[in-house]
Amino acid sequence: MNETPPSLLGLTTYLMSKTGKAARGRLADRLAERGLRLWHMAVLAALTDFGPHVQRELAERLSIDRSDVVKIVDGLGAAGLVDRARDTADRRRVTVTVTPAGRELLERLKAEALAVQEDILAPLTARERAQLTALLLRVHDGALAGGQARAGR
Amino acid sequence: MNETPPSLLGLTTYLMSKTGKAARGRLADRLAERGLRLWHMAVLAALTDFGPHVQRELAERLSIDRSDVVKIVDGLGAAGLVDRARDTADRRRVTVTVTPAGRELLERLKAEALAVQEDILAPLTARERAQLTALLLRVHDGALAGGQARAGR
DNA sequence: CCCAATGATGGGTGTGCACCTACTAAAGGA
DNA sequence: TCCTTTAGTAGGTGCACACCCATCATTGGG
């Protein structure tokens, strides 16, 4: 009685959605334990990978509303994970930088994400996981470049 | 400036979440045009695949709260997509059945889902899509059987 | 020097989702 | 017959998310 309807299981769309939701949910739970949300991690990752950003750039890169960036950076700042600094050249701009604490935390968060991943991808062999990642990566790139059309809403 | 942080792209978890969200979002948009939500489709699928259900069974199968089932079935009933009938043997129970209109609509919805899928999986060949589906299916089965732990919240 | 454009911010809105709590009707065992 | 359990229903809550608008400071062009 707890089987999922085959009509849905036949849809790759459905499977992506369902497994993706599960993955996101579990990671979000872990983050919540530290008082963080997924966006916080995304911002830390962006800052670590690409260096300091002006808030506008963060909004652009992550496709979030700029007013929401403010709130996320607020949270990170309060936790000492990023530094905010007014741009001396253009004092309207605020440059956000990861602190060492932020970098360190990101490493831990990545480790947690890997743990969640380990759990979720348990049924697959290492080869298969690599395959899955490769396939999803291509889907991801294609989806971003092509259709676009805001995901949310 | 619009590249996604590699720290995230390296996580299969992230890719599943992101692509899954995109997929769900697009399908949800299509459904919304008909005044439906994803749960409506899921219920139609369950009823079509497994035959009539008592509401309790729907709740169990789809892992939704029973009070939410009521609302979903309400909507479907109002649209003439399902029939509600009190069980004569046990008059507490209400058996829900798909109507022909419901079956027909489900077919169309499945077609729409396939269209979305076609769009999203565009970068992949037919072989690769089959591979992806197979991999995700195993992940899905594993995730449900093993970890469980409600996805939401 | 004034004005339009830009960046950050605060505050607020609507939606979907998962959850929970009565309350009613009915069934079924002690 | 009484009492516990089960099914459905109504109504409401909290949260995360995506969006939007108004405001203020600042910049840079005309």
The minimum CA-CA distance between A75 and chain B, rounded to whole Å, is: 20
| Half-sphere exposure for A53 (CA within 13 Å, toward CB) | 26
CA A59 to chain centre: 13
Mean pLDDT across the stretch B96-116? 96
Mean pLDDT across the stretch B73-88? 96
Does A152 score more than 70 pLDDT?
no
According to the model, what pLDDT value does residue B143 have?
73
In a domain, A4, yes or no: no
Nearest CA in chain B to A23: B13
Range of the domain at A138: 121-153
Where do the H-state alpha helices sit in B34-125?
38-50, 55-62, 66-78, 100-120
Does B25 score more than 70 pLDDT?
yes
Neighbours of A25 (CB within 10 A): 16
Cα separations (Å) of B57 from A6, A21, A94, B54, B77?
16, 23, 54, 5, 17
Q: Are residues A28 and A41 in the same domain?
A: yes
- List protein-proximal bases of chain D (any atom < 7 A from a CB): 6-12, 16-22, 25-28
Residue type, position A70, single letter: V
B91 CA to C25 C1', in Å? 8
Neighbours of A15 (CB within 10 A): 25
- Asked if A49 and B7 come within 8 Å (Cβ–Cβ), the reply is yes
For tokens 């599960």, the residue is: A22
Q: What is the pLDDT of residues A120-149, one digit of tens each?
A: 999 999 999 999 999 999 999 887 654 444
Q: Any idea what DSSP says for residue B85?
A: E
Q: Is B64 on the interface with A (CB under 8 A)?
A: no
Say what percent of chain A tops pLDDT 90.
88
Q: Are residues A36 and A82 in the same domain?
A: yes
In a domain, A15, yes or no: no
Into how many domains does chain A fold? 2
Q: Are residues A36 and A103 in the same domain?
A: yes
Say what percent of chain A tops pLDDT 70.
93
Lowest mean pLDDT among A73-77, B2-6, B17-21: B2-6
Single pTM value for the model = 0.90
